Amino acid sequence: MLPPLVSLFSGLAVPVRFALKHHKDSDEHAKQVRDAYDRICKFAEQYEAHQKGHLSGDGATAVGKDDTPITKSYSAGEQRVEELRRSLSDSRVVEVDEKAWHREYHFTNDLRRTEKHTSPPGRMKRLVWELSILRTSIPEGIFVRHHSDRLDAMTFLIVGPAGTPYENGLFEFDLFCPMDYPQSPPYVFFRTSPPDRKFNPNLYNNGLVCLSLLGSWEGPSWDPENSTLLQLLVSLQAMVFTESPLWNEPGLETTLTPLHSRVYNVEVRADTTRYALAEWLTKLNSGELEFSPWREVVAAHFELRWEEIVEAVERWEADQPGDEVRLPNQREKSQEGLKMAAYTTHRAPARFKEGIRMLEEGSGLRKMEC
């Protein structure tokens, strides 16, 4: 059954409320737009208040075909899961004020340097529109925090997709839209990285993100008229965090073998365990995330996905190549694939052990077998 038309106002009100807050124009047309926005918000508030009246006790009450109330009961555990899912869904895009802004934001100097600059015509309107689109269209597994006063400053978190060596890992990026945005693409910096290795052919340990939309990779470049922040984030999630990331590097399929890809995945899984899972849990429990915009997301993620995380890490640790692993030969050493082939030195066991120990110490939920 299709939802009632009035229910659509609730979803529409999300970007509308945001646009109202940041809408600066003052001409007659702008006044008419604001009046329309106000009416949408009022309809949404009435519908949301009406819906709350249908919730009672330990279950949710709905109306059947004959207008008979139908009550579905939930256990405490099921209710908690639903609360966590709703919390994560509602917090995909959130505005963060100055006091709570990311203390280690990579583009702080850019913010200071442009603080007194006048934004070019259309730039702020474009940013308001972009963030409104993100609020309604951002897919599951991506979270965005933007500065309340500087809409050009953002930080975002991508959850590693299921079935990849990044599964359930939390990967953090900082983003800044330069003063000539959208004529130029945003700057992006990768924060979640091992100290001495790349997490991916597209993600360097010095923070460099290689993507065609950013002008740092082969492929379609940034188009000021058609490219969006939503497109950028979805491209990162879908095209970088893949099942076989070694093949993201052009030309390696002619130099390396499926065995190289398998070993590469083992190494990435070990890094995901150590740096994109265990490190976040350690920081959460130690209080290091107290002033981070990600504290609530990280806490909800681990509580909701804990059993999946444990199952995946145990499966990953057990699935490691043995004697068939070899070092790259001379032909490979002379090819572009050297730095990728070097992963066949197979250094994963130590990082798995360290990551599992950190998860074990931080969980308080379940003993993981090493």
| Residues annotated catalytic, as ranges | 210
Residue with token string 């003993």: 367
Reported as type and span, the H/E element at residue 346 is none
Q: How many CB atoms lie within 10 A of CB 275?
A: 21
Q: N- to C-terminal Cα distance for the chain?
A: 49
Alpha carbon of residue 325 to chain centroid:
34
Q: How many C-beta neighbours within 10 Å does residue 246 have? A: 25
- Is residue 156 within 8 A of residue 233, CB to CB? The reply is yes
Q: What are 157's strand-pairing partners?
A: 143, 172
SS3 51: helix
Which has the closest alpha carbon to 320: 247, 241, 254, 267? 267
Q: Would the CA dihedral through 231, 237, 243, 247 be positive or negative?
A: positive
Reduced to 3 states, what is the DSSP secondary structure of residue 115?
coil
